[in-house]
């Protein structure tokens, strides 16, 4: 019985560790997506980083449960001003990566 109790006590720690590792991998995917979007638009990703602004569990149309994450980043096209961008992930899938609307280089 003591073995089962110890195993049960470790379960929350294992779940937290799994969530943390998954979050690190998701952030790395978000940085790659932001960098790719900036390269496509010929702008510079600032600070080479993204910031998590929302994470919550959601169900896909097929019923599977995954974490929906939204990240923000900043980019510049002239080196003087910062403009916002956004990346959305659902589980391990990239939903979108975009520069915020209405912001055009040279405008």
Rounded to whole angstroms, the Cα distance separating 21 from 47 reads 22
Whole-number Å distance between alpha carbons of 42 and 25: 26
User: 42-79: per-residue pLDDT in tens?
Assistant: 999 999 999 999 999 999 888 889 999 999 999 998 88
Per-residue pLDDT, 61:
85
* Over residues 14-39, mean pLDDT: 94
pLDDT, mean over the chain: 89
In a domain, 79, yes or no: yes
Q: How far apart are CA 20 and CA 27, in angstroms?
A: 11
Exposure letters 57-69 (e unless 16+ CB within 10 A, then b): eeeeeeeeeebbb
Residues written for the chain: 107
| Range(s) of the domain holding residue 88 | 2-99
60 within a domain of the structure (yes/no): yes
Residue 57 domain-assigned?
Answer: yes
Closest alpha carbon to 73 in 104, 42, 36, 107:
36
pLDDT category at 11 given cuts 50, 70, 90 is confident
* Domain total of the chain: 1
């Amino acid at each position: 019985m003591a073995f089962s109790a110890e195993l049960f006590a470790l379960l929350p720690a294992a779940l937290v560790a799994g969530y943390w590792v998954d979050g690190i991998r998701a952030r790395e995917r978000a940085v790659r997506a932001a960098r790719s979007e900036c390269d496509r638009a010929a702008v510079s990703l600032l600070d080479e980083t993204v910031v998590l602004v929302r994470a919550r569990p959601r169900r896909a149309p097929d019923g599977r449960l995954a974490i929906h994450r939204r990240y923000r980043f900043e980019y510049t096209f002239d080196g003087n001003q910062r403009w916002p961008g956004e990346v959305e992930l659902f589980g391990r899938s990239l939903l979108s990566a975009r520069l915020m609307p209405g912001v055009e280089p040279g405008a």
